[in-house]
């Protein structure tokens, strides 16, 4: 899962670590002592006798015709000279067994990382956030030579990814456990992304944890929808509430809630017609379901392999229907990982589950920390 993105993140870690190591300043013992003394003297001169920064007044150099000289004063590095306070600071750090990471160390690797993220369908604002966080975590950092730069890069990348992937995350099972029963969950999304199968999978997931559920087919728009969800209900031995094609979706899900209340069923799982946010009549149905049923959660379902399209649709559905979270199907077939990286940050609502196969038990509770560790090869 997300193998392509894993490889690109691994390449960034290697490139960034190599770049920092190449720019480290190896020095011998005699040079180390001189460098430390020079750095200390430079710091003392900067601070002045009172500890406040001062600027020494230097007489302006001039040329023979009286014009100001462009030559550097004695003891000052020329532009582009390798000597100077920055180099002294890095050399002094290395002499004491440390390496300072500077912006130029990461410039090339970060450009490559940006291209890698965008080519993996990570949304642009999300890629920018990841890059900014890596910069904040690494530039100016000093590491002991007994550490590896790869460790620092990995830690920075871990924090950057978790920052965007974990937005809005909540404990789904805890919410089910603490909510008044029955809990009503409505599923929405476009046609053909595995919405109905996801409902069946979640019913099984709940059953394994001791929660009963009833299925309610609010997809009264599509021919064959009743047959599709009925097959799942029969395979799982679940009660199905359904009306004839063309019926009122809100009425179907409301009937599901009444059945659950009368029969002590814990969770109502309501299907809806696949729709685009531009389908005004179908969006009106969602609004009516919200008004009549007042579901506890509305979950958006899309395919992980849809990448940027899934991210865009998630944002549009959230704007139209105020979703509480997302489920990504076909995550096991997705090498890019762009949707999984981006959706939570773009919508402000968490990914709650990943579909990782065809079986009813192939629904994986989404854990941002676990996914980041997997992406970075830490598990």
247 is in an annotated binding site: no
193 is in an annotated binding site: yes
Cα dihedral angle (269, 274, 277, 283), rounded to 10 degrees?
A: -60
122 is in an annotated binding site: no
330 is in an annotated binding site: yes
Taking residue 291's Cβ as centre, other Cβ atoms within 10 Å add up to 9
273 is in an annotated binding site: yes
133 is in an annotated binding site: no
312 is in an annotated binding site: no
291 is in an annotated binding site: no
194 is in an annotated binding site: yes
Cα dihedral angle (240, 243, 249, 255), rounded to 10 degrees?
A: -60
Taking residue 286's Cβ as centre, other Cβ atoms within 10 Å add up to 24
181 is in an annotated binding site: no
d(CA 310, CA 304): 7
Q: Which two tokens mark 71?
A: 């030559």
CA angle 204, 249, 173 (to 5 degrees): 30
d(CA 216, CA 292): 14
Strand stretches in the chain, DSSP E:
98-100, 142-144, 183-188, 213-218, 239-241, 267-272, 297-303, 325-329, 351-355, 363-365
Distance between terminal CA atoms of the chain?
Answer: 13
Q: Are 336 and 310 in contact (CB under 8 A)?
A: no
154 is in an annotated binding site: no
224 is in an annotated binding site: no
196 is in an annotated binding site: yes
271 is in an annotated binding site: yes
d(CA 26, CA 91): 7
35 is in an annotated binding site: no
- Estimate the share of the chain in helix, then strand, then coil, as percent rounded to the nearest 5: 50, 15, 35
Binding residue positions for GTP = 189-196, 271-275, 329-332
Residues in binding site: 189-196, 271-275, 329-332
């Amino acid at each position: 899962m997300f193998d392509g993105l894993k490889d690109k993140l691994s390449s960034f870690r290697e490139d960034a670590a190599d770049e920092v190591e190449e720019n480290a300043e190896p020095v011998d013992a005699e040079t180390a002592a001189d460098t430390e003394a020079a750095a200390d003297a430079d710091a003392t001169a900067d601070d002045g006798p009172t500890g406040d920064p001062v600027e020494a007044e230097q007489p302006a150099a001039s040329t023979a015709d009286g014009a100001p000289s462009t030559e550097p004063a004695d003891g000052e590095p020329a532009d582009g000279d390798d000597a100077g306070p920055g180099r002294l600071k890095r050399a002094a750090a290395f002499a004491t067994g440390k390496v300072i990471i500077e912006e130029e160390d990461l410039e090339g690797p970060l450009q490559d990382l940006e291209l890698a993220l965008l080519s993996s369908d990570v949304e642009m604002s999300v890629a920018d956030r990841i890059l900014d966080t890596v910069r904040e975590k690494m530039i100016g950092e000093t590491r002991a030579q007994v550490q590896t730069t790869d460790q620092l890069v990995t830690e920075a990348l871990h924090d950057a990814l978790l920052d965007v992937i974990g937005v809005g995350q909540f404990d789904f099972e805890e919410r089910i456990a603490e909510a008044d029963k029955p809990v009503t969950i409505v599923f929405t999304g476009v046609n053909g992304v595995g919405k109905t199968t996801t409902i069946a999978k979640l019913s099984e997931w709940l059953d394994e944890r001791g929660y009963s559920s009833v299925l309610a087919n609010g997809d009264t728009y599509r021919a064959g929808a009743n047959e599709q969800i009925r097959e799942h209900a029969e395979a799982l031995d679940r009660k199905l509430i359904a009306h004839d094609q063309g019926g009122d979706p809100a009425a179907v899900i409301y009937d599901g809630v009444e059945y659950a209340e009368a029969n002590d069923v814990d969770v109502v799982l309501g299907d809806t017609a696949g729709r685009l946010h531009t389908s005004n009549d179908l969006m009106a149905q969602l609004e009516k379901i919200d008004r009549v049923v007042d579901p506890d959660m509305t979950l958006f379902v899309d395919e992980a392999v849809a990448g940027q399209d899934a991210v865009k649709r998630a944002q549009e559905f959230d704007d139209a229907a105020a979703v509480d979270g997302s489920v990504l199907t076909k995550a096991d077939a997705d090498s890019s990982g762009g949707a999984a990286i981006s959706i939570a940050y773009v919508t402000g609502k968490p990914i709650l589950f990943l579909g990782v196969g065809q079986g009813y038990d192939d629904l994986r509770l989404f854990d941002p920390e676990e996914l980041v560790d997997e992406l970075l090869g830490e598990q």
